[in-house]
Amino acid sequence: MKDRLIDWEYEVYGGVNLGADAFIQKPFHFEVLVAKIQAILCRVYNYSSSPSVLKTCMDATIDIETNRISNEKGMIELTKNEIYILTLLVERKNKIVSREDLMNLLWDDQRFISDNTLTMNVNRLRKKLVEIGLGSGIETKVSQG
């Protein structure tokens, strides 16, 4: 038993001395292997297993993961509802998005949500977009969306 331990220690320390980052003893679980690989990738390449989702529109970059929109004039942070609204509008660019579509996206149960609540969310988003020169980005079509 002692000889096996010495051999194992030699393999582990010898491998680390040769540049190994980690050691996984056999038999191993696949999940452990994947976790070790992700940890090494994060450390070496600044890689994330859930990369930030970026969209571009009107010379601005929308980072959905961090709820931010930025362009050459600046960067603003958005609320969860504001990023949902903006993302849906960008995905359906040059198409009319109905109030019902926006309400369904934001709230599962509309029975307790006032129509005015959506209007307030869109108005707040518009004001924030004006701060970085994107004030004309959201256009309302009366009685359509």
In tens digits, what is the pLDDT along the chain, a chain of 145 residues?
Answer: 444 445 545 555 555 566 666 677 778 778 777 777 777 776 666 554 444 567 777 788 888 888 888 888 889 999 988 888 888 888 888 888 888 888 877 876 666 677 788 888 889 999 999 988 887 778 787 777 6
- Contacts of residue 70, defined as CB under 8 A and 6 or more positions apart, other chains included, come to 60, 61, 63, 76, 132
Confidence (pLDDT) at 77: 93
Place of tokens 């009366």: 142
Phi, psi of 57 (to 5 degrees): -160, 135
Q: In the chain, what are the domains?
A: 2-45 (no CATH), 54-137 (1.10.10.10)
Confidence (pLDDT) at 127: 92
Q: CB–CB of 67/83 below 8 Å?
A: yes
Phi, psi of 108 (to 5 degrees): -65, -40
Handedness of CA 31, 36, 37, 41 (dihedral sign): positive
Closest CA to 133 of 54, 56, 58: 58
> Burial, 63: exposed, middle or buried (Cβ in 10 Å; 0-12, 13-18, 19+)?
middle
Confidence (pLDDT) at 17: 61
Is the pTM higher than 0.85? The answer reads no
